[in-house]
Structure 1
Amino acid sequence: MKPLSLPPRLLMGPGPINCYPRVLQAMSTQLVGQYDPVMTGYMNEVMALYRQVFNTNNKQTLLVDGTSRAGIEAVLVSCIEPGDKVLVPVFGRFGHLLAEIAERAGAEVHTIETAWGEVFAPEQIEAAIREIRPKVLAVVQGDTSTTMLQPLEHLGEICQRYDVLFYSDATASIGGNPFETDKWGLDAVSVGLQKCLGGPSGSAPVTLSEKYVECVRKRHHVEAGIRDAHHQSASGSRIRSNYFDLPMIMDYWGEERLNHHTEAASMLFCARECAVNLLDEGQEAVLSRHKTAGDAMLAGIQAMSLQPFGDLSNKMTNVVGVNIPDEVDGEAIRSTLLNTFNIEIGTSFGPLKGKIWRIGTMGYNAREDAVYHTLQSLETVLRRSGMSLPLGEAVDAAMAVYAGRAE
Structure 2
Amino acid sequence: MHTPIQAPVNPPHRLLMGPGPINADPRVTRAMSAALVGQYDPWMTETMNETMALYRDVFQTENEWTFLIDGTSRAGIEAALVSLVEPGEKVLVPVFGRFGLLLKEIGERIGADVVTIETEWGQVFTPEQIEQAIVAERPSVLAVVQGDTSTTMNQPLEDLGEICRRHGVLLYTDVTASVAGNELRTDDWGLDAVTAGLQKCLAGPSGSSPITLSDRAVEKIRTRRHVEAGIADGSTAGPGPVIRSNYFDLAQIMDYWGPQRLNHHTEATSMLYGARECARLLTQEGMDRAVARHALHGHAMASGLAALGLELFGDQEHRMNNVVAVLIPEGINGDAVRASILSDYGIEIGTSFGPLHGRVWRIGTMGYNARRDAVMTTLSVMESVLRAAGVSVVAGAGTATALEHYQDAA
* TM-score band w.r.t. shorter chain: over 0.9
Q: Are 2:339 and 1:329 equivalent residues in the alignment?
A: no
- 1:327 deviation in Å? 2.4
Counterparts in 2 of 1:154-233, with a 5 A limit?
Answer: 154-221=159-226, 231-232=238-239
Counterparts in 2 of 1:130-145, with a 5 A limit?
Answer: 130-145=135-150
Residue of 307, 313, 325 corresponding to 2:311: 307
Query: Greater shift after overlay, 384-393 or 256-265?
Result: 384-393
Q: What SS does the corresponding residue of 1:216 show, helix, strand or coil?
A: helix
Residue of 49, 55, 58 corresponding to 1:50: 55
Conservation of the 8 A alpha-carbon contact between 1:94 and 1:143:
yes
Q: What SS does the corresponding residue of 1:138 show, helix, strand or coil?
A: strand
Where does residue 74 of structure 1 map in the other structure? Answer: 79
Structure-2 separation of matches of 1:230 and 1:207: 32
Letter of the aligned partner of 2:43 in structure 1?
A: V
**Count of residues paired in the alignment:** 400
- 1:18 deviation in Å? 0.3
Structure-2 separation of matches of 1:53 and 1:245: 23
Structure-2 separation of matches of 1:254 and 1:193: 22
Conservation of the 8 A alpha-carbon contact between 1:219 and 1:232:
no
Task: Flag structure 2 segments of 5+ consecutive residues without an equivalent.
Answer: 1-5
Q: Are 2:16 and 1:5 equivalent residues in the alignment?
A: no
Structure-2 separation of matches of 1:223 and 1:86: 25
Conservation of the 8 A alpha-carbon contact between 1:220 and 1:231:
no
Structure-1 separation of matches of 2:236 and 2:323: 45
What CA RMSD, in Å, does the superposition of the two structures yield over aligned residues?
A: 1.5
Q: What SS does the corresponding residue of 1:255 show, helix, strand or coil?
A: coil
- 1:196 deviation in Å? 0.2
Conservation of the 8 A alpha-carbon contact between 2:147 and 2:178:
yes
Residue of 357, 362, 377 corresponding to 1:358: 362
Cα 1:344–1:229 change in 2 (3 A) is farther
Q: Are 2:40 and 1:35 equivalent residues in the alignment?
A: yes
Structure-2 separation of matches of 1:262 and 1:54: 25
Cα 1:230–1:49 change in 2 (3 A) is farther
Structure-1 separation of matches of 2:215 and 2:63: 7
- 1:77 deviation in Å? 0.2
Cα 1:255–1:231 change in 2 (3 A) is farther
TM-score of the two chains, using structure 1 as the length reference: 0.96
Structure-2 separation of matches of 1:57 and 1:289: 25
TM-score of the two chains, using structure 2 as the length reference: 0.96
Cα 1:223–1:90 change in 2 (3 A) is closer
Instruction: Map Cα deviations across residues 182-209 of structure 1 (whole Å, 9 max, x no partner).
Output: 0000000000000000000000000001
Structure-2 separation of matches of 1:272 and 1:262: 17
Letter of the aligned partner of 1:305 in structure 2?
A: G
- 1:219 deviation in Å? 2.2
Structure-1 separation of matches of 2:157 and 2:237: 39
Where does residue 274 of structure 2 map in the other structure? Answer: 270
Letter of the aligned partner of 1:71 in structure 2?
A: G
Q: Are 2:251 and 1:250 equivalent residues in the alignment?
A: no
Task: Flag structure 1 segments of 5+ consecutive residues without an equivalent.
Answer: none
Residue of 84, 107, 113 corresponding to 2:112: 107
Structure-2 separation of matches of 1:283 and 1:202: 22
Conservation of the 8 A alpha-carbon contact between 2:230 and 2:236:
no
Structure-1 separation of matches of 2:382 and 2:17: 11
Letter of the aligned partner of 2:84 in structure 1?
A: C
Instruction: Map Cα deviations across residues 60-96 of structure 1 (whole Å, 9 max, x no partner).
Output: 0000000000000000000111110000000000000
- 1:372 deviation in Å? 0.4
The sequence identity of aligned pairs, in percent, is 62
Conservation of the 8 A alpha-carbon contact between 1:220 and 1:232:
no
- 1:223 deviation in Å? 12
Structure-2 separation of matches of 1:13 and 1:32: 35
Where does residue 386 of structure 1 map in the other structure? Answer: 390
Residue of 13, 16, 21 corresponding to 2:21: 16
Conservation of the 8 A alpha-carbon contact between 1:219 and 1:238:
no
